Structure 1
Amino acid sequence: MPARLSASADHTRFDGRRVELLLPVREGGVLHGSLLLRAHYDALPRLLDYLAILGIVTLASLILAALVAQRLQRTITEPIVAIAGVAREVVQTRNYGLRAPRMTRDEVGALVEAFNDMLAELGGQAEALQKADRRKDEFLATLAHELRNPLAPIMTALAILARPDTDRATLLRMVDMMQRQMQHLVRLIDDLMEVSRITTGRLTLRIEKLDLVAVVRAAVEGTAPLLLARQHALQADWPAPIWLLGDRTRLVQVFANLLSNAAKYTEPGGRIAVDFITQPGSVAVQVSDNGIGIAPERQADMFEMFTRIDNAASGVHAGLGVGLAVARQLVAMHEGQLLLRSAGLGQGSVFTVLLPRPAGDHVEAPPAPVAAPAPLPSRRRERPERAGEPLSVLVADDNVDFADSLAAVLQGEGYRVRVAHDGQQALQLAREALPDVGLFDIGMPGLDGFQLARAVRAEPGGATCMLAAITGWGQQADRQRAREAGFDEHLVKPVDMQAVLGLLATA
C-alpha cells in the first residue's frame, strides 16, 4: 500500500490516468484492515477495444448479409429471372412447350409451377386456335367450292339462254337445270343458318309424343331417291311402335342425315341396315353400312363442324361437313347420344342414336309443348272490290336487279307494279297512291322495311294493304319483328316465285 494513503481513513486519488480508492474495514470500532481499489483510466486502449469489437461485428454482419443475399439469389432472384427469360422466349418464338426450372419447394417454387401450368394452358389454347383457324380456312375453301359448283352450270345456262337460236326445248331444260342448282344453293345457305341457330342456342324443339319407328320410316322415305339412285339394299326389321318424347321434324332430320351419309359413302349396290334396340329407359337406333369406313384417327373429329370425308369416286357431293355436327347437337338436345363405330377404312360404319324413353309404352305428352310459330295475324280489312281492275303492287328493295326482275315477272302476270329502291321513295309512292300489296325488303338504307311497314299502316286506309316482307333475314326473331311491325307475311330470299304469285292470288 502506498505510504501516502492512510489506512485509518477513506482516501481517493486521481492523477488523470489512474484512480485509487482506500477504504478501511472496521468492526465494533476495531480496525481490521483496509480495501484498496486501483483502476487505470486510459481512454485510448478502451476506444481501440471498442473499435475492434465493432469491426468484428461489422465483418460478421457483412458475411451474414452475403450469405443471405446468396441464398435469396438462389431461391428468389434466379427463378424470377428464369421466368422472365422463358416468357420472353415464348413471346418471340411462340413455343409454348418451354418451361421454367423449379429450383425450390417453397412459395417461389409454387410460383414457377403456376407459371408452367399457365404456359401449358396457353399452349393448349393456341393449338385449339390454330386448329380452328385451319378449319376456318378449310371451310372457306369448301364453301367457295360448293358455291362454284352450282354457279358454273348457271353461268353456262345463262350463256345458252342469251343465244337467239336456242330452241324452246333447250330453254326449258336450262331453266329446269337452273332451278335445281338454285335449290342446291338454298340448301347450302340453310345448312349454314342451321349451324348458326344451334351454336347460338336459338334453336328450340317442339316436344311431343311420337312413334320413333314412324320417324325413322319418314327419314327412309325422304332418302329413298338417293338410295334407289345408288342401288343400295336397305334392310330393316320394323318393330312395334316405340313411343317417346321428342321433336318429330328434328329427329327425322337426324336419321335422314345418317341414311344420306351411308348412301353417299357406300359404293353403289351396297347394304344399309337399320336396327332398333330397346332397353329399359332407352332405345337405340343403329344405321350401319358396308361402305368406305372411317380411319381410327379421323373418328374423333367426325362430329366437329366442317369435317368432311372425301369420296370423289362416289360422284356425290360431300357438302359443307356440318351434317353430323348438327345431328349430334340435335340428339344432345333430346338428352341422347350419337355414337360412331368403324373398324377402319373399307370396313363400313355404324352410327348409333341413343335416346331416353320411359319404361314401357306409357309416355305422357309434356304439359306445355313448344308451339309452332303462329302464322302472321292478318291486319287487313276486306279490300274494296274493283271489277276488272288488276291489283296494284309496290315493290321496295335496294337490290335494283331483284326489284326490277320481280316487277317484270309480276307485270307479266297482269299486275300493276311500281318499284322503289329505298324506303323513303317507297313511302312517297305509297302516300301518292296506296297499293293493294306491298312487297318490302327489310334491310334498306335510311328507312328500313320495318319502319316503312309501320308508316304505311299509319296512312289512311293502310290497314287494308297486304304487306309481305321479302328479305334475307329468316330467323324466328326476324319473323317476330316483322309481325310486330305490321307485316302479314314473311318470305325469305331467294323467294319461290310461285309462293309470291300464290300470295297475290289471296290478296
Structure 2
Amino acid sequence: MLSRLHSGSVRAKLVAMALATTFAALLTTSISMLVYDLTTFQQNWIDDLTTQAEIVATVSAPAVGFNDPAAARQNLALLRVRPQIQQGAIYAANGAIFAAYAEAGADVPPLPARPGPPGPAVEGGRMVVYHPIMENGERVGTVYLSARYRLMERLVSYATILGVVTMASLLLAAVVATRLQQSITRPLRAVTEVARAVMQRRDFSLRVEHHHDELHGASYPEGGKGARHSGEIGTLVDAFNDMLAEIGRRANALQEANLTLEREMAVRQGAERALLLADRRKDEFLATLAHELRNPLAPLRTGLDIMRLNGGDPAASLRARGVMERQLKQMVRLVDDLLDVSRINTGKLTIRRENLELHAVVANALEIARPFIDAQGHDLAVHLPPGPVHLLGDTTRLAQVLSNLLNNAARYTPHGGHIVLSADVGAEGRLHICVADDGIGIAPGMLADIFEMFVQADASLERSSQGLGVGLSLARRLVELHDGTLEAASEGQGKGSTFTVTLPVLAEVPQAAERPAPGLAGDRHYRILLVDDNEDFVNAIGGLLRTLGHTVHVCHDGPQALAAAEGFAPDFAFLDIGLPGLNGYDLARALRAVPALGRTMMIAVTGWGQQKDRDLAFEAGFEEHLVKPVSVEQILAILAGHREGVAIADR
C-alpha cells in the first residue's frame, strides 16, 4: 500500500492519508471495544452460572442430607427454564453422582466421574462451574453445572457490527476528504497534466490557466494572456507558466538551429553516399562491360584472321563465319540489354499488347536459347499444356523473358546438366511457367537481391558464365508490365534453382483477322536508298541487296542524299540519324517535301533506341525505326512486308 501511495497522484495521496488516519482510529477503537465487550461477556457468564449453582446448592442441601435423590433431581429439573445450561449434577460427599440432569436432545459429554475443584472453568467450548453444598458448616456434596459458552458467536457478531460501522465511516471519510482535497489537488493536477503533455508532445506553448476562481488543467497558444494567481499555489502556477514560456523560446531557437544543421548534414552525407555508390557502380559496370565485350571481340578477330589467312579453305571460312555470327549475336544481346536498362531507368520501357498463344512464345524462346543450351551439353525437357493457352501481351518481350531464364539456367549449370521448362494453368486462372535447373543454386541471402541490376549469383573471378547481370532484372520488369510476377526459389548452393513466371490467362479469346505472312520479297525488286556515314556498314548492306536483284544507291552524308533522292526516286530509303551536314530528321522532312517521293517508305536506322527517339523519328516522317546493329533479315522483312511500293519491273 505504501508503494502505491508513493507512486500515486497528490489527490490519491491526500485521500489515502485521510482514509488511513480514519481507519487507524476506527481500528483502535473497535479493538478496544471488542476486548472490553468480550471481557464483560465472560464475567457476566461466570457470575450468572455461579449464582445458579449457588441456588441449586442451597435448595438441594436438605435432599442430600436426607439422602433423597428424587428431590435433588427435581431441583435440577428446574434448570430447563435456562436453555443455556445443558447439563447439571449433584455429587454426594464421597464424590459419587447423587442426581443428574441433561437438556433434552442436547449433545452433551459424559458427566465427570468425580467433582472438580470449586469455581468456574472453560472446557471444550463450554463453561462449567463446581459449587460446594454446605449443611451446618459441613460440606455434604457438590453442584456441577455445564452451559453453552458462545464466545465465538459473540465475537463474530460484534466484529460484524464493528466492520459495517468502520466501512460506513471510511466511505463517509472518503467523500469528505475528496471534497476537501480538491482545493489543493486541482491546481497541482493541472500543473502535472500540462507537464506530462509537454513531455509527450514537446509542445512548450501549453499553459495552466485560471477558470471560475479554481485552477484546472488547460492550454492556450504561446503568447496568450492568462490571469495571475494569488496564494502559494497560484504563485507556483504562475512560475510554472513563465518557465514554460522561457523553455519554449529556447527550445524553438535550438530546434531551428538543429534542423538547419541536420539538413546540411543530410545533404552532405546523401551527396557523399551517392557519389561513392555511383563511383563504385560505375567502376564495377565498366569493368564488367569491358570484360563481356572483349569476350566476343576476340573470336571475331580470330575469325577474320582465319578468313584472311585461309581464304582458300571453304570449310575453315564456314566455321569462322559461324563463330563470328554467334559472337556478334552475343554483342547485340549485350547492347540490347543495355538499351533496355536505359529504358527501365527512364520509365520508358513499354510493351505491345496483343492476343498470343503460349506455344508460340515458348517456340520463339527456345529458338533463341537452344543453341547456347546445346553448346553447354545440357538436357532440356519441355512440358506444356496440350491445348492452346492464350495470353495478352508482347510476344517478343515474353520470349525474351523465357530465353533469359533459359540462358540463365544454362549459364549457371555445370556442363551436362538438366533444365526443365514446364507450364500449367492453376485453379485461380493464372499461368505458371517454371524454369528449373540442377546448377549452382542460389544462397539464401541472395534470393532477395538476385533481381537487382548488375547482381550475379556467381561474382567470383573464376566464374565461367557471361553477362552484365541485367537479365533477371529485365525479365522481372517485363513480367510486371504484363501484370504478372517472377519469383526465384532455391534450396541453397549446389542444389539448383527454380524461376516461376505467373501471368494472367485470357478467359475469352478475341477472333483475330487473318493476315498473309510476309515473304522475303524474292519475287519483287525495289529501288533502295541507303544513307549512312559508316561506309563499311552501308557498302556491305548495299552489296548484299544488289546480289538479291535490288537497285541500290549509297550516300554517306545528308546533302548528298537530298541531291540524289529526287532523280533516283527510291521505293525505300534507309536513313541514318547522325549524318554529317544534315541530320536524318531534317533529311526526312526535306524528302517528304519532294512531290516525286510521295510513295517512298522511309526507315530510320540509328543507335538511339529510346521511346523519345522513336517519337522524333515518326514526327519527322519515318514509317519504321530500326536500332543498330541492323541485320539483313530486318531489312528483307521490311521489303517483304511492303505491299504498296512500285517494283522496278512495273516501271
Q: What displacement does 1:490 show?
A: 4.2
CA distance 1:123–1:407, shift in 2 (3 Å): same
Q: Is structure 2 residue 475 aligned with structure 1 residue 331?
A: no
Partner residue, 2:299: 153
Pairing partner for 1:421 from 543, 556, 567? 556
Q: What displacement does 1:194 show?
A: 1.8
Counterpart residue identity of residue 191, structure 1: D
| Maintained 8 Å contact 2:378/2:418 | no
Q: What displacement does 1:192 show?
A: 1.5
CA distance 1:215–1:107, shift in 2 (3 Å): farther
> What TM-score comes out, normalization by structure 1 length?
0.62
Pairing partner for 2:276 from 106, 127, 130? 130
- Inter-partner Cα distance in structure 1 for 2:475 and 2:340: 11
CA distance 1:394–1:355, shift in 2 (3 Å): closer
CA distance 1:331–1:414, shift in 2 (3 Å): closer
- What are the Cα deviations for residues 139-197 of structure 1, in whole angstroms up to 9, with x where unaligned? 21111122112211222222333348643333333333322222222111111122222
Pairing partner for 2:507 from 338, 356, 363? 363
Partner residue, 1:459: 594
Q: Which has the larger radius of gyration?
A: 2
The 3-state SS of whatever aligns with 1:205 is coil
The 3-state SS of whatever aligns with 2:426 is strand
Alpha-carbon RMSD: 4.4
Q: What displacement does 1:325 show?
A: 0.5
Partner residue, 2:87: none
Q: Is structure 2 residue 606 aligned with structure 1 residue 471?
A: yes
Pairing partner for 2:339 from 177, 193, 198? 193
Q: Is structure 2 residue 402 aligned with structure 1 residue 255?
A: yes
| Maintained 8 Å contact 2:566/2:596 | no
Gaps (5+ residues) in structure 1? 1-71, 77-103, 372-384
Q: What displacement does 1:252 show?
A: 3.4
- What are the Cα deviations for residues 89-135 of structure 1, in whole angstroms up to 9, with x where unaligned? xxxxxxxxxxxxxxx8x662585378558746864674455334322
Pairing partner for 1:167 from 313, 327, 336? 313
- Inter-partner Cα distance in structure 1 for 2:256 and 2:317: 77
Counterpart residue identity of residue 424, structure 1: P
Q: What displacement does 1:448 show?
A: 1.7
The 3-state SS of whatever aligns with 1:470 is strand
Gaps (5+ residues) in structure 2? 1-245, 514-523
Pairing partner for 2:536 from 401, 404, 420? 401
- Inter-partner Cα distance in structure 2 for 1:218 and 1:413: 27
- Inter-partner Cα distance in structure 2 for 1:409 and 1:197: 33
Identity of aligned residues (%): 48
| Maintained 8 Å contact 2:378/2:419 | no
| Maintained 8 Å contact 1:264/1:314 | no
The 3-state SS of whatever aligns with 1:162 is helix
More helix by share: 2
CA distance 1:169–1:295, shift in 2 (3 Å): same
Partner residue, 1:112: 258
295-304 or 489-498, larger mean C-alpha shift: 489-498
Q: What displacement does 1:323 show?
A: 0.8
Partner residue, 1:301: 449
Aligned length: 388
Pairing partner for 1:444 from 579, 599, 613? 579
- Inter-partner Cα distance in structure 1 for 2:526 and 2:391: 50
Q: What displacement does 1:502 show?
A: 6.9
| Maintained 8 Å contact 2:532/2:576 | yes
| Maintained 8 Å contact 2:530/2:554 | yes
Q: Is structure 2 residue 453 aligned with structure 1 residue 318?
A: no
Q: Is structure 2 residue 415 aligned with structure 1 residue 268?
A: yes
| Maintained 8 Å contact 2:413/2:437 | yes
- Inter-partner Cα distance in structure 2 for 1:214 and 1:409: 31
Pairing partner for 2:351 from 201, 205, 215? 205
CA distance 1:263–1:177, shift in 2 (3 Å): closer
| Maintained 8 Å contact 2:310/2:316 | no
Q: For 1:35-184, what aligned pairs fall within 5 Å after superposition?
A: 108=254, 112=258, 115=261, 119=265, 123=269, 126-127=272-273, 129-163=275-309, 166-184=312-330
- Inter-partner Cα distance in structure 1 for 2:619 and 2:629: 23
Q: What displacement does 1:309 show?
A: 3.2
Q: Is structure 2 residue 422 aligned with structure 1 residue 278?
A: no
Partner residue, 1:353: 501
The 3-state SS of whatever aligns with 1:152 is helix
- Inter-partner Cα distance in structure 1 for 2:281 and 2:617: 36
| Maintained 8 Å contact 1:436/1:466 | yes
Indicate the structure whose relative CO is greater, using CA pairs within 8 Å and at least 6 residues apart.
Answer: 1
Q: What displacement does 1:475 show?
A: 4.4
- Inter-partner Cα distance in structure 2 for 1:186 and 1:490: 17
Q: What displacement does 1:324 show?
A: 0.7
> What TM-score comes out, normalization by structure 2 length?
0.50
CA distance 1:224–1:411, shift in 2 (3 Å): closer
CA distance 1:245–1:122, shift in 2 (3 Å): farther
- What are the Cα deviations for residues 51-109 of structure 1, in whole angstroms up to 9, with x where unaligned? xxxxxxxxxxxxxxxxxxxxx99x96xxxxxxxxxxxxxxxxxxxxxxxxxxx8x6625
- Inter-partner Cα distance in structure 2 for 1:322 and 1:489: 28
- What are the Cα deviations for residues 297-340 of structure 1, in whole angstroms up to 9, with x where unaligned? 33332111122233889986421211111111122223333222
Counterpart residue identity of residue 447, structure 1: L
The 3-state SS of whatever aligns with 2:604 is strand
Q: What displacement does 1:409 show?
A: 4.4
Q: What displacement does 1:136 show?
A: 2.4
- Inter-partner Cα distance in structure 2 for 1:440 and 1:493: 12
Partner residue, 1:27: none
Q: What displacement does 1:223 show?
A: 3.6
